[in-house]
Amino acid sequence: MAVEDVSFEVRPGEFTVILGPNGSGKSTLLRLVLGLIRPDSGAVSLFGRPAHEFNDWRRIAYVPQVVEELSSNFPATVEELVSQGDYRGFSPTTIFRRRVSDAVLAAIATTGIEPLRRRRISELSVGQQQRVLIARALVRGPELLVLDEPVAGVDAGGQEEFYSLLQGQVGIGMAVLLVSHDIGVALREATTVACINRSLVFHGPPHAITGKELHDLYGLPIDILLHDDVHEHRHGHR
């Protein structure tokens, strides 16, 4: 999926939501940001370096969608999987290292999954698996956290806990970049919203989004109503 004419910045302590319908190029944008693919033209920079050359991996962390790999048969305990996030480059003795590092224990505590430590990840619910992936990302104390539709399949209560966890990280200065197709999430949680539909439709604080932009984004007039409704909800929420 091609994207063009997209230009914005993510700063420390900012919660940016990339909002767009399915097929809008959100995931492509995310792969560009992570340096997994190169742009045909233009530039993507991570901490001032071109994304595809970036190699200071401990400054960024990625949380993919809870995917099949997790729910199928992957043989790892929660502890083992979170420890993957503590990777510091090639070390030939990893297989013999049985001790769980303090950073791993801290991330497990932050995400509230201590009781699950020794469970196999395939036995967990989708919401619990998502927490494990977040813990895996937080282990290395990243400055930028990139998430792809992180709450797909997570129940409402789980989503609320999940976002308060993220807000806590933003509060201590982490930059969060989250891809979603959920307008409510963008309006409720973001400090900045980037609306994408092949190109950048809107970039700014969520309260500045108008019905016109959402119409451009989703092509449905019903979004105007939804927009007002969510705004009310948002004011009531705070």
Q: Which residues bind another protein (CB under 8 A)?
A: 31, 34-36, 55, 57, 60-62, 64, 67, 69, 73-77, 80-81, 84-85, 87, 89-92, 94-95, 118, 120
The CB-of-182 to another protein minimum distance in angstroms stands at: 22
Orientation angle between helical segments 126-138 and 156-171, nearest 10 degrees: 10
Orientation angle between helical segments 102-110 and 126-138, nearest 10 degrees: 140
End-to-end CA gap in the chain: 37
The CB-of-73 to another protein minimum distance in angstroms stands at: 5
The CB-of-8 to another protein minimum distance in angstroms stands at: 20
The CB-of-76 to another protein minimum distance in angstroms stands at: 5
Nearer to another protein, 65 or 191 (CB): 65
Nearer to another protein, 46 or 186 (CB): 46
- Name the DSSP letter for residue 86: T
The pair of three-digit structure tokens given for residue 22, joined into one six-digit string: 């399915």
Nearer to another protein, 34 or 179 (CB): 34
217-223 long-range contacts, Cβ below 8 Å, gap at least 24? Answer: 217/19, 217/20, 217/21, 217/24, 218/21, 223/183
Nearer to another protein, 120 or 231 (CB): 120
10 Å CB burial of residue 203 (0-12, 13-18, 19+) is: middle
